[in-house]
Amino acid sequence: MDFTLNEEQRMFRNMFRDFAAKEIAPHAEEMDHQETLPPSILQKAANQGFLGATLPEDYFGAALDSVSYAMLIEALASASVSVAMTIASHVSLVAMSILAHGSDAQKEEWLPALAAGEVIGAFALTEPDAGSDAAALQSRAVVQGEEVVLDGVKTWVTNGATAGLFLVFARGAEGVDACLVPRDAPGLSVGYREPTLGLRSVSFNTIYLEGCRVPLANRLGAPGQGWTIAQQAQDRLALAVAAAALGVASSAIDVAAQFATERIQFGVPIGQKQAIQNYIATAVTEVEALRYLLYHAAWQADQEGLDAFDVSVVKVFGARIARSVTNWMLQVLGGYGFMEDYPMARKYRDARTLGIVGGPTELHSFRIAQHVFAGRDLEIAL
């Protein structure tokens, strides 16, 4: 088993880290406190190819493999989990869905613009009464001649405020349909932005579809294929969430370890205290485990592809480690960890969201159990 990165991957990793350190880290605190994400930062990311990270070069993407993509999200999240999740949602949920399921015309129309960052993608699945539960989806898609008419309300739409393209899921005649809805489509309005605990630079919006009309040609994939498209998109995102978890956790350890060498109490740096050593040792162990779990999953995604089981294992573990590590590294910082002019509080808040964003941990645990019991011929229900 060869665990080394190839030369290209090593080069990418350095490039991603440099970018994060130079272009994102200096602005991370301000972005979080102002709850903004300056378009200039996204544009710089687009110029590097990040907004088309895994798209093929034909569509002006950077054609990164999954391992490199995971490293990108990890590096971005080390500086700002908000930036990482903005880009990951754009790439994994929207752009890659079009790549996987779009017609040639759809790919031509949207992928170059998405890769260039001219259009930001938003994913509109969740509804007030339907989070993880497909059967509860109430938005409707009715075919009328050469158009699809969409009606419904979508909540927690990532990138809602800035998106030029919405991937909307609604119930059609044959099941759930997926539709590409440009921002200027008649009948689409973007509403309330959710103020959040973490990921404060990400815009989560409620959008309203009121007799929203798009050409039939904007339907993505076959009628009734929408739920599969949504599931696959979320599985891709789950991997990105785990990468973000790795980034926030490992950067939290860096901050805490540095602090522990500088903070003197009782005449010595607190790094000399066994309790502090234990917190750091546990955190490092957890992060190492996550690192290899994540990169193995990413590598596997490029080999045979990932199934629900692999994705869920990585996501559950990632969310747990992000939470645990940021919590204990905050404790190492003591009072400073609670102040918003140090980075730890922000990392702590951002990390907490990762157990819910991309599907709550409990749902993923169920999928893991489902896989285990299916292998023993027992079908389990939620």
Partner 1 sequence: MDFTFSPEHTALRRMIREFVEAEVAPIAAELDREHKVPYEVMRKLGEIGLLGVCFPQKYGGMGAGETGYCILMEELGKVCTSTATNVGAHIGIGAMVIHLDGTPEQKEKYLTPLSRGQKIAAFGLTESNAGSDAANIRTRAVREGDSWILDGGKVYITNGGYADIITVMAVTDPALGARGGVTAFIVETDWPGFSVAREEDKMGIRGTSTAELVFEELRVPHENVLGKVGEGFVSFMKSLDMGRLTLGAACLGGAQAALDWSVRWAKRRRLFGAELAHKQSVQWMIANMATEVEALRSLVYRVAWMVDTGQPFTQLAAMCKMYGSEVASRAIDMALQIHGGLGLTRDYPIERAFRDARIAEIFEGTNEIQRIVIATNIFREHGVRIRP
Interface ranges with partner 1 (CB under 8 A):
126, 129, 131-133, 135, 155-156, 194-198, 264-267, 273, 275-276, 323, 330-331, 334-335, 337-341, 345, 348-349, 352-353, 355-357, 360-362, 365, 382
- Report the nearest approach of partner 1 to the CB of residue 352 (Å): 7
CA distances, 69 to each of 59, 118, 293 (Å): 17, 20, 15
- Report the nearest approach of partner 1 to the CB of residue 299 (Å): 30
**Please, what's the b/e burial string for 360-371 (b: 16 or more CB within 10 A of its CB; e: otherwise)?**
bbebbebbbebb
How far is 47 from 351, CA to CA, in rounded Å? 28
- φ/ψ (deg, to 5) at 295: -70, -30
Nearer to partner 1 by C-beta: 152 or 337? 337
At 279, is the secondary structure helix, strand, or coil? helix
Nearer to partner 1 by C-beta: 192 or 292? 192
- Report the nearest approach of partner 1 to the CB of residue 171 (Å): 17
Nearer to partner 1 by C-beta: 105 or 135? 135
- Report the nearest approach of partner 1 to the CB of residue 131 (Å): 6
327 and 319 Cβ atoms separated by less than 8 Å: no
Nearer to partner 1 by C-beta: 42 or 351? 351
How far is 199 from 169, CA to CA, in rounded Å? 24
- Report the nearest approach of partner 1 to the CB of residue 302 (Å): 32
Give me the torsion for CA of 213, 215, 217, 223, rounded to 10°.
Answer: 40
Nearer to partner 1 by C-beta: 10 or 33? 33
- Report the nearest approach of partner 1 to the CB of residue 122 (Å): 16
Nearer to partner 1 by C-beta: 107 or 347? 347
Say how many C-beta atoms besides its own lie within 10 A of residue 74's C-beta. 28
How far is 314 from 296, CA to CA, in rounded Å? 10
Query: Which residue is it, tokens 């002006």?
Result: 60
* Burial classification of residue 136, based on how many CB atoms lie within 10 Å of its CB (0-12 exposed, 13-18 middle, 19 or more buried): exposed
